[in-house]
A and B are shown apart, each in its own frame.
Chain A
């Protein structure tokens, strides 16, 4: 017995950490626990449906379970099904890799109005997360608040014609919803000047390939910084086009209030010149993510140092760092944290490990996930690489099939 480690969350940060731990110490017992019946977190439910290449990283994660001996325990929520303290009692070390799934709220008057939607909520609905709400009516002129990569992902998907989604895994429901959306114009607003916008230049360049749009970039400004100049050049290159959907980039607009009586109809912004109000039919906020509150994140992180929270308790990924950083950043964290965990590990053979989960119903394992994955990829509709199982019941049914046969 060389130690038992539980990782809460089987997203990229949990998987990369498990990989690093098992590479350093192959006979370690590493259990990945996720509240969903399926693994891979935002790789499955956040990374855009039309960015399948990025999802290729799951081939590495599959190795984790197939060759490196990690185990998956799906459909187990830590904090409700099992308490964090109980889990800590059962394992030599516990790592919080639970991500940040709640949308950061726009803290301005009117942000509770119907028609204001967070990017997390909307992408979960688009990508058929089992707990997603129904896809909302956006109207002809949605307005996006935020200038990060998530905002650009949303913009791109909303602006795509059905043909441009070939090869993606966007489901039938969302595909129909998009085709029927009636979107005529999308305005995307950022607080900073364009030169300081958070999105990556490649994300902007990709918009240049959109087939049916016309794009206007207003007041992008100038910069002396070479990286910012690349960003500005990419924006500049987008200008024009004769497509049906109009896209307007606006910068230096700080939202002050969402206006409307029974529904959002405009956003009022503070600008360098004073105030400006932009009419819209819905408001999509993409301004970051926050804890959903199922785990007391703030209290847990209070004493955090380099990923260590308390004896035998650690945090990594978005849960630790906040909603910043791409998949590669999570890998960079994993190596250092694995070393730290292994350095401090003092295995106690008396710990029950996964025995703590014994009383729970309907836990899914990696083989169950493989059955779900096969069912999703066996017969996808034309132009799609996967048809996701959209409900928890559907997933659990497939996952348990072997036991009933």
Chain B
């Protein structure tokens, strides 16, 4: 399967996780990590699965590297019907009101444009005991399995 791991980050935690996910999946799939800052919504393709990994900044906002993407989505209003994505969020429960606000915003941007979210949005807590990759690897495998069906039908 063609997979892109799109990450939105500010201090690099989401980037490191995206690279770990690539390493985990690359034996079986054509997979690459791409910074959301370097990705244009016109590149979305219904034959590719998008695994999005995104952190949270400020007061529940998107991290710096996801902000240009959000602006391009707002400006270009792309139709993402048929595009499939899963989303893994990163945040910190110390900011309880706005916990994982960034990935929530990103998921909403995608679905509002017509894309289909596969699986639940996972919310990693930097203050919690669990390592991001311990949550993310099983998540990625689940989403890939779901996409096997979904992309098969779309293609």
Chain B CB within 10 Å — which of A59, A205, A230 has the most? Answer: A59
Given A205-B97, A331-B10, A332-B64, CB of A53 within 8 Å of CB of B59: no
State whether the Cβ of B137 lies closer than 8 Å to any Cβ in chain A. Answer: no
Mask of B7-24 contacts with A, CB within 8 angstroms, 1/0: 000111100100000000
Interface residues on A, range: 20 to 34
- Which of B58, B93, B96, B126 lies in contact with A56, CB distance below 8 A? B126
- Which of A52, A60, A200, A202 lies in contact with B127, CB distance below 8 A? A52
State whether the Cβ of B44 lies closer than 8 Å to any Cβ in chain A. Answer: no
State whether the Cβ of B88 lies closer than 8 Å to any Cβ in chain A. Answer: no
Chain A CB within 10 Å — which of B11, B93, B97 has the most? Answer: B11
What are the residues of chain B within 8 A of A60 when measuring CB–CB? 11-13, 16
What are the residues of chain A within 8 A of B58 when measuring CB–CB? 200, 202
- For the complex formed, measure the closest distance between the CB of B114 and the CB atoms of chain A, giving whole angstroms: 31
State whether the Cβ of A137 lies closer than 8 Å to any Cβ in chain B. Answer: no
Question: Within the assembled complex, what's the spacing in Å between the Cα atoms of A327 and B63?
Answer: 13
The chain A residue sitting closest to B131, CB to CB, is A59
Question: Within the assembled complex, what's the spacing in Å between the Cα atoms of A202 and B93?
Answer: 12
Q: Which residues from 162 to 207 on chain A have a C-beta closer than 8 Å to any C-beta of chain B?
A: 167, 200-202, 205-206
Given A57-B11, A57-B12, A60-B16, CB of A328 within 8 Å of CB of B64: yes
Q: Which residues from 312 to 342 on chain A have a C-beta closer than 8 Å to any C-beta of chain B?
A: 327-328, 331-332
Interface of A: prevailing SS = helix
Question: Is A205's CB under 8 angstroms from B12's CB?
Answer: no
What are the residues of chain B within 8 A of A331 when measuring CB–CB? 10-12
Given A202-B59, A331-B10, CB of A54 within 8 Å of CB of B92: yes
Given A57-B13, A59-B16, A63-B16, CB of A328 within 8 Å of CB of B57: yes
What are the residues of chain B within 8 A of A56 when measuring CB–CB? 13, 126-127
What are the residues of chain A within 8 A of B131 when measuring CB–CB? 59
State whether the Cβ of B95 lies closer than 8 Å to any Cβ in chain A. Answer: yes
Question: Is A202's CB under 8 angstroms from B95's CB?
Answer: yes
- Which of B10, B12, B57, B94 lies in contact with A53, CB distance below 8 A? B94
Q: Which residues from 121 to 137 on chain B have a C-beta closer than 8 Å to any C-beta of chain A?
A: 125-127, 131
What are the residues of chain B within 8 A of A127 when measuring CB–CB? none
State whether the Cβ of A251 lies closer than 8 Å to any Cβ in chain B. Answer: no
- Which of A16, A51, A230 lies in contact with B94, CB distance below 8 A? A51
State whether the Cβ of A19 lies closer than 8 Å to any Cβ in chain B. Answer: yes
Question: Within the assembled complex, what's the spacing in Å between the Cα atoms of A16 and B131?
Answer: 21
Question: Within the assembled complex, what's the spacing in Å between the Cα atoms of A54 and B92?
Answer: 8
What are the residues of chain A within 8 A of B126 when measuring CB–CB? 52-54, 56
- Which of B11, B59, B95 lies in contact with A327, CB distance below 8 A? B11
Question: Within the assembled complex, what's the spacing in Å between the Cα atoms of A206 and B99?
Answer: 13
The chain B residue sitting closest to A209, CB to CB, is B96
Q: Which residues from 81 to 118 on chain A have a C-beta closer than 8 Å to any C-beta of chain B?
A: none
Question: Within the assembled complex, what's the spacing in Å between the Cα atoms of A202 and B59?
Answer: 6
Question: Within the assembled complex, what's the spacing in Å between the Cα atoms of A19 and B9?
Answer: 15
Question: Is A53's CB under 8 angstroms from B127's CB?
Answer: yes
Question: Within the assembled complex, what's the spacing in Å between the Cα atoms of A53 and B95?
Answer: 10
Question: Within the assembled complex, what's the spacing in Å between the Cα atoms of A63 and B97?
Answer: 31
Question: Within the assembled complex, what's the spacing in Å between the Cα atoms of A201 and B16?
Answer: 28
What are the residues of chain B within 8 A of A230 when measuring CB–CB? 59
Q: Which residues from 109 to 155 on chain B have a C-beta closer than 8 Å to any C-beta of chain A?
A: 125-127, 131
Question: Within the assembled complex, what's the spacing in Å between the Cα atoms of A50 and B92?
Answer: 12
- Contacts A/B (CB < 8 Å), 11 sampled: A16-B12, A19-B12, A51-B94, A53-B93, A53-B127, A56-B13, A57-B11, A59-B13, A60-B13, A205-B59, A328-B64
4 A-B pairs with least C-beta separation: A53-B126, A53-B92, A53-B127, A56-B126
